[in-house]
């Protein structure tokens, strides 16, 4: 029989903001976490999953309060404990790690001392030997050379290591339950793979339970035993992971799967969830998903749907639950968007962007950060080239260097026959209409003090297009309609729009000057899955209609497989592998591409590959390793790799890679 639950949450209500019109962030949650299991709390941003965790830990923000419910941890009601005793529980048998390891550590304390702080509070046995215990813990979380690391400061560690230290601090209290709030969202995929396998490993060794909070279906699929799906402050489905990933019952969960971009869905529209998550301060009657549901029937509006038990341990909050397995993604129309060589729109040859490092009193140049160190790319018109790599590899700098938002140090950028790198400021200003950029964070890329109409018209005005005031306004209205926004948007301000709508405005702004090339710098990574699907659909539709070319900069392989024709994989300022998307993703040749692809969490357990663990982190571009940049982390490193950078080997007409392994064949 099932063991009794370690954490039992019953009817938890958390409210935020003013009591007159509260935001009901958590609206009646029942949750069980059993000893030793990983329960994933899955949901999109703003659904209240973090507030649930903060409510359990009693760490709500000042405006938040728990209005009802019980939180039983080990049969002890945490909500009834006085704060003094709660402090002993928190960080002790109930550990927590946060999303952002950079801000969770105190920058002026040695990490050993920060771990020792937790030992002093929660670990009586090791009170006399905090340092030794800290070393043990660092070893347990897989930090190499822990005796040296224990005396280092947080800034000397990389992002992944900091998150390990956070785990070590949580472990110091010997937790029986670890709450992990988006523990890998801020990390790169290869680092994410390290942290996830660490969590799995620790769970097996120590038998602690994990409450994993995540929005990422892939991460949940790889780590969770059971899944609880949250929507608009409530749970809508609870079941074990296998059931959830094979036959989810709630329409919301099913929709999430079908809106994920994959290779199989290329050339088709992604399914989208219309509308958006309802604001949590509204009064609900009936099912909260009803407005966005494809299977909506009239009785969905009558009263809140009750829980239904479908089979053992699978319950769903829906009147008309779906059954059966998910429809497999068909490959039928895959051919419609095949790659065929066309005319080169953009031809980048040996682009270099070096930033000087100034040191000393006289601020002499003492070296260069080689952010981009000899990148060559070719993008054909109305095609999409994806530039993939981990953070810090220089992919954004390539995009900005091409547009000369950052002055390139060397190289040629042939755009439609002109060398952009050599154009004068005036000539460049005229060419700017042909190439545009869309940024990652739509909120930061619009001036908060300008109405949307003026934001969209900015390019028209700067380029002297669009004629007089009325003509410009007409054009703006046309553009907004083109990206699917209501016409009255022009008079409103950016903060009145949701994340997805804001990204649409940014697309409209870029389209205003009728560009041929758009550099998309992680345009969907700040968005939820369902919204991401809408934006990706918009991109593909616009490409077909307006013959646009995209340079798509991203770290998300699933987006690449959906949208790109060609892929270039970047590592430390250089391109290591390049080719058609099917070639690179299906038959990767470079060890780094292999590792990168294997680290991506996959939902379908059949497709799961053996994760190639990359040790350590990317070196600094100010001081790249000699020879092949990847050799310190490469499993196949040979003596020659340490000496010289490999030449580019051609695998097929379109597929190239730079690796010594290929040259020897």
> How does 132-155 read in b/e, with b if 16+ C-beta sit within 10 Å?
ebbbbbbbbbbbeebeebbebebe
Give whichever of 510 and 557 is closer to other proteins, judged by the CB atom. 510
Give whichever of 230 and 433 is closer to other proteins, judged by the CB atom. 433
Residue from 192, 234, 445, 578 touching other proteins (CB under 8 A): that is: 445
Q: Is 24 helix (H, G, I), strand (E, B) or coil?
A: strand
Give residues with Cβ within 8 angstroms of 642, minimum separation 6. Answer: 625, 626, 627, 628, 631
Strand partners, 379: 346
Residue 507 engages other proteins in binding (rule: CB under 8 A): no
Task: Looking at residues 459 to 488 of the shown chain, list those that interact with other proteins (rule: CB under 8 A).
Answer: 459, 462-463
Residue 147 engages other proteins in binding (rule: CB under 8 A): no
Residue 357 engages other proteins in binding (rule: CB under 8 A): no
Give whichever of 232 and 513 is closer to other proteins, judged by the CB atom. 513
The distance of closest approach from Cβ of residue 501 to other proteins in the complex, given in angstroms and rounded to an integer, is 16
- Cβ distance 630 to 642 under 8 Å? no
The distance of closest approach from Cβ of residue 305 to other proteins in the complex, given in angstroms and rounded to an integer, is 34
Nearest one of 497, 645, 526 to 575, comparing CA atoms: 645
Residue from 430, 547, 644, 650 touching other proteins (CB under 8 A): that is: 430
Give whichever of 445 and 532 is closer to other proteins, judged by the CB atom. 445
Q: How far apart are CA 400 and CA 348, in angstroms?
A: 13
- Angstrom distances, CA of residue 132 to CA of 95, 126, 137, 562: 21, 9, 9, 50
Tokens 């350590």 label which residue?
Answer: 616
Count the site residues for other proteins by CB under 8 A.
Answer: 31
Residue from 8, 509, 574, 580 touching other proteins (CB under 8 A): that is: 509
Residue 506 engages other proteins in binding (rule: CB under 8 A): yes
Q: How far apart are CA 215 and CA 28, in angstroms?
A: 20
Q: How far apart are CA 316 and CA 287, in angstroms?
A: 12
The distance of closest approach from Cβ of residue 627 to other proteins in the complex, given in angstroms and rounded to an integer, is 34
- Interface map 191-230 toward other proteins (x if CB under 8 A): ----------------------------------------
Give whichever of 80 and 405 is closer to other proteins, judged by the CB atom. 405
The distance of closest approach from Cβ of residue 49 to other proteins in the complex, given in angstroms and rounded to an integer, is 21
- Interface map 396-425 toward other proteins (x if CB under 8 A): ----x--x-x--------------------
The distance of closest approach from Cβ of residue 370 to other proteins in the complex, given in angstroms and rounded to an integer, is 21
Long-range own/partner contacts, residues 531-534 (CB < 8 A, 24 or more apart): 531/276, 531/498, 531/499, 531/500, 531/503, 532/259, 532/261, 532/559, 533/259, 533/260, 533/261, 533/270, 533/271, 533/272, 533/273, 534/272, 534/500
List strand residue ranges (DSSP E) for 34-135, in order. Answer: 38-42, 65-73, 76-77, 94-97
Nearest one of 288, 323, 49, 374 to 182, comparing CA atoms: 49
Task: Looking at residues 371 to 400 of the shown chain, list those that interact with other proteins (rule: CB under 8 A).
Answer: 400
Q: Tell me the two tokens of residue 457.
A: 């018209």
Give whichever of 376 and 463 is closer to other proteins, judged by the CB atom. 463
Residue 526 engages other proteins in binding (rule: CB under 8 A): no
Q: Tell me the two tokens of residue 83.
A: 């704060």
Residue from 60, 86, 428, 602 touching other proteins (CB under 8 A): that is: 428
The distance of closest approach from Cβ of residue 442 to other proteins in the complex, given in angstroms and rounded to an integer, is 9
Which residues would be at the binding site for other proteins (CB under 8 A)? 400, 403, 405, 428-430, 432-433, 435-437, 439-441, 444-450, 455, 458-459, 462-463, 493, 495, 506, 509, 513
């Amino acid at each position: 029989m099932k063991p009794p639950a370690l954490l039992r949450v019953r009817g938890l209500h958390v409210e935020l903001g003013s009591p007159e019109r509260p935001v009901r962030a958590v609206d009646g949650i029942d949750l069980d976490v059993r000893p030793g299991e990983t329960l994933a709390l899955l949901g999109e941003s703003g659904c209240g999953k973090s507030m649930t965790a903060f409510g359990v830990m009693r760490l709500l923000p000042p405006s938040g309060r728990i209005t009802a419910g019980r939180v039983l941890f080990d049969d002890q009601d945490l909500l009834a404990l006085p704060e003094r005793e709660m402090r002993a529980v928190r960080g002790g048998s109930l550990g927590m790690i946060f999303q952002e390891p950079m801000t969770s550590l105190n920058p002026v304390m040695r990490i050993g001392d920060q771990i020792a702080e937790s030992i002093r509070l929660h670990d009586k046995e090791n009170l006399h030997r905090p340092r030794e215990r800290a070393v043990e813990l660092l070893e347990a979380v897989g930090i190499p050379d822990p005796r040296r690391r224990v005396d280092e400061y947080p800034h000397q560690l990389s992002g992944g290591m900091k998150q390990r230290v956070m785990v070590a601090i949580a472990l110091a209290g010997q937790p029986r339950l670890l709450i992990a709030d988006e523990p890998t969202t801020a990390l790169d995929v290869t680092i994410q793979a390290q942290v996830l396998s660490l969590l799995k490993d620790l769970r097996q060794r120590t038998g602690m339970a994990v409450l994993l909070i995540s929005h990422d279906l892939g991460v949940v699929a790889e780590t969770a035993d059971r899944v609880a799906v949250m929507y608009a402050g409530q749970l809508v489905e609870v079941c074990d992971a296998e059931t959830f990933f094979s036959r989810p019952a709630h329409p919301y969960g099913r929709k999430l799967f079908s809106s994920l971009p994959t290779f199989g869905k290329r050339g088709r529209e992604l399914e989208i969830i219309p509308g958006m998550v309802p604001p949590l301060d509204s009064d609900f009657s009936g099912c909260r998903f009803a407005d966005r549901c494809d299977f909506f029937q009239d009785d969905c509006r009558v009263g809140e749907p009750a829980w239904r038990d479908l089979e053992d341990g699978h319950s769903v909050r829906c009147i008309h639950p779906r059954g059966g397995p998910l429809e497999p993604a068909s490959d039928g129309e895959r051919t419609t968007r095949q790659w065929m060589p066309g005319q080169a729109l953009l031809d980048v040859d040996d682009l270099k962007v070096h930033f000087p490092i100034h040191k000393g009193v006289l601020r002499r140049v003492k070296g260069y950060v080689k952010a981009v160190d000899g990148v060559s790319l070719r993008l054909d018109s109305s095609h999409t080239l994806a530039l993939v790599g981990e953070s810090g590899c220089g992919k954004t700098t390539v995009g900005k260097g091409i547009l000369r938002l950052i002055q390139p140090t060397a190289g040629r950028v042939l755009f439609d026959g002109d060398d952009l790198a050599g154009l004068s400021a005036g000539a460049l200003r005229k060419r700017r209409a042909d190439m545009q950029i869309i940024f990652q964070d739509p909120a930061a890329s619009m001036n908060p003090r300008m109405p949307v109409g003026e934001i969209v018209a900015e390019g028209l005005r700067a380029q002297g297009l669009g004629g007089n005031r009325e003509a410009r306004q007409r054009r703006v209205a046309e553009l907004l309609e083109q990206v699917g926004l209501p016409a009255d948007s022009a008079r409103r301000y950016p903060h009145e729009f949701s994340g997805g709508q804001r990204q649409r405005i940014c697309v409209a702004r870029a389209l205003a000057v009728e560009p041929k090339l758009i550099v998309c710098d992680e345009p969907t990574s700040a968005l939820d899955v369902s919204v991401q699907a809408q934006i990706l659909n918009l991109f593909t539709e616009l490409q077909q209609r307006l013959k646009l070319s995209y340079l798509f900069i991203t770290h998300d392989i699933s987006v690449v497989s959906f949208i790109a024709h060609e892929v270039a994989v970047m590592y430390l300022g250089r391109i290591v592998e390049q080719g058609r998307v099917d070639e690179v993703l299906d038959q990767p040749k470079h060890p780094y591409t292999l590792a990168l692809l294997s680290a991506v969490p996959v939902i379908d357990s059949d497709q799961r590959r053996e994760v190639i663990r990359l040790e350590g982190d990317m070196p600094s571009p100010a001081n790249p390793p000699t020879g092949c940049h990847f050799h310190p982390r490469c499993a196949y490193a040979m003596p020659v790799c340490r000496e010289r950078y490999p030449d580019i080997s051609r695998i097929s007409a379109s597929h190239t890679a730079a690796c010594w392994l290929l040259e020897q064949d």
